[in-house]
Amino acid sequence: MRHKLFRCLRPAGTLLVAIGLLVSLALPAAAAPDDNGWDPTLPKLLSAGAPGDPLAIANASLAATAQATQATVNLGRNFLSSLGIGGAPASVAAGRVRGPQAIEYVIRRGGSQMGVPYSWGGGTPTGPSAGVEQDAGKVGYDCSGFTRFAFAGVGVLIPKYSGDQYNTGRHIPPSQAKRGDLIFYGPGGSQHVTIYLGNGQMLEESSAKGQVAVSPVRTAGMSPYLARIIES
With beta carbons less than 8 A apart as the criterion, state whether 193 and 165 touch. Answer: yes
204 annotated active-site: yes
Q: Annotated catalytic residue: which of 3, 133, 192, 231?
A: 192
Which residue stretches of the chain are H helix? 54-58, 66-82, 100-111, 143-152, 162-166
Q: What is the β-pairing status of strands 211-216 and 129-130?
A: unpaired
Determine the Cα–Cα distance for residues 80 and 61; give it in Å rounded to an integer.
28
Select which of 3, 133, 171, 204 is catalytic: 204
DSSP-assigned letter for residue 214: E
Q: Are 120 and 37 in contact (CB under 8 A)?
A: no
> Are 9 and 22 contacting, i.e. CB atoms less than 8 angstroms apart?
no
Q: Are strands 139-140 and 211-216 parallel, antiparallel or unpaired?
A: unpaired
Identified catalytic residue from 8, 143, 205, 231: 143
Q: Please confirm, yes or no, whether 143 is among the known catalytic residues.
A: yes
What are the catalytic residues? 143, 192, 204
